[in-house]
Amino acid sequence: MNKEDFDTTIAALGRAKIPSPLRTRAQGAGSGCFVSEKDRVLVNISEDYVIKSIKRGKKPLSFELGGPRGKIFFDPTKLRCAVVSCGGLCPGVNDVLRAIVLALYYNYGLRNIYGIRYGLQGFISSYGHEVTELTPEFVAHIHERGGTILGSSRGHQDIESIVDSLERMNVGLLFAIGGDGTMVASARIAEKIKKRGLKIGVIGIPKTIDNDIYLVDRSFGFETAVSIAVDVIGGAHNESISAPNGIGLVKVMGRYSGFIAAAATLAMPDVNFVLIPESDFELEGPEGLLETLKERLVRRKHAVIVLAEGAGQKFFADREEERDASGNIRLHDIGVFLKDTIKAYFKDQGMEADLKYIDPSYTIRSASANANDHLLCGFLARGAVHAGMAGKTKMLVGLCNNQIVHIPMEASIGKRKHVDTSGDMWMSVLETTGQPFLKN
């Protein structure tokens, strides 16, 4: 989809008529703390793009600016909210949960906030998961630990049953924290709510450690992942230089996008080869990985390789495809494959090579967020609360040009952001590592 080919209008449950309680907390700032519905954030801020758009008679693509509105849709004294986290773990989920609860409780005066246990399973009565009452006391210290205090799960659940549950609980506003599958489910929940004529808002806070959310500059958890990966790469480098022909091989997350591998390499420029899903590579041949790696060892006696988990999946073309409970393709383990392949190659060459393989994936995804992700989680959560209280629905909050914006779910779900292999980031990786293009 071309970034100019979709509608950025945000759906609403109705007209916002209730004066925001934030007016009384503005410390004399009047309406200065509120955001107008006319405030927009340009997606492409280059002057050339803006001028060309105007000349074509088109408005430059922009998103609605996030933030508190002067009028809200829901009466805080009568509203019940629910929060659910789904999918795999990611640093910062607890931060988002905590910030949502504190914003609802202290900024808007809500007292009925419920946590849905173990993802969308929590809406289905047959699973028997109890609902958790979320209070400031309950969430006070959860940001200090990784994981999610509500638990999570994968897998499809019946949308009709989820909406039935929301009705039975008398929930007026649902906050969903999760990846693309969760956002797809959230969009379907919002559609079913609309068909039933209900006034229930659905706000998504997108979660992916891979930083591959379409139209979003940076997702929470990404900077924490890069920070931990940098430490791991440093350890791999120390291992490699401490042995004759030492090789440090590090696998990081990145199913379809290699942002973690690329960013960690730029932050720790001791890496010699970076393998990501967006940049194809070969093993054999004079410019393939194996011979290039051999040349590196002959010349420098050590090497560090960083690969994203989704790289090199073509080498498993003859194997049967498997899927997880959510329908995602189970990737084959490129790390173990590459470790075994490299060892076998140097054995056949009669050349000594000491390879250390490190896979820190579960350590990274279950870690608590670092300072920058703490900040981003708070901004996203408060942005989600402000949008929800204003009656907006079927949207997600995200960072665009350093501003929190509202993005229609239809514009982002089912798509991914990728490393541009002709862009500055990847060119910088190639310059930093000095690696060739690794093709036959």
Q: Tens digits of per-residue pLDDT, 82-118? A: 999 999 999 999 999 999 999 999 999 999 999 999 9
Q: Where are the domains of the chain?
A: 11-219+368-412, 222-366+421-433
pLDDT score, position 319:
83
* Residue ranges of the chain whose pLDDT lies below 70: 1-5, 23-32, 47, 49-51, 53, 55, 57, 326, 440
Q: How far apart are CA 354 and CA 15, in angstroms?
A: 67
Query: Does 11-219+368-412 match 222-366+421-433 in CATH topology?
Result: yes
Give the residue numbers marked as catalytic. Answer: 210
pLDDT of residue 29: 46
d(CA 104, CA 84): 15
| Burial degree of 288 (CB within 10 A; 0-12, 13-18, 19+) | middle
Residue 408, classed as helix, strand or coil, is strand
Q: Is the dihedral of CA 118, 123, 126, 132 positive or negative?
A: positive
Structure confidence by residue, pLDDT tens digits, 201-226: 999 999 999 999 999 999 999 999 99
pLDDT at site 2: 47
Q: Which two tokens stand for residue 162?
A: 């989820």
The residue behind tokens 């509203």 is 79
pTM confidence score: 0.93
- CATH class in words for 222-366+421-433: alpha beta
- Give the CATH number of domain 11-219+368-412: 3.40.50.450
Q: CA-CA distance, 34 to 259, in Å (whole number)?
A: 35
Half-sphere exposure of 281 (CA within 13 A, CB side): 27
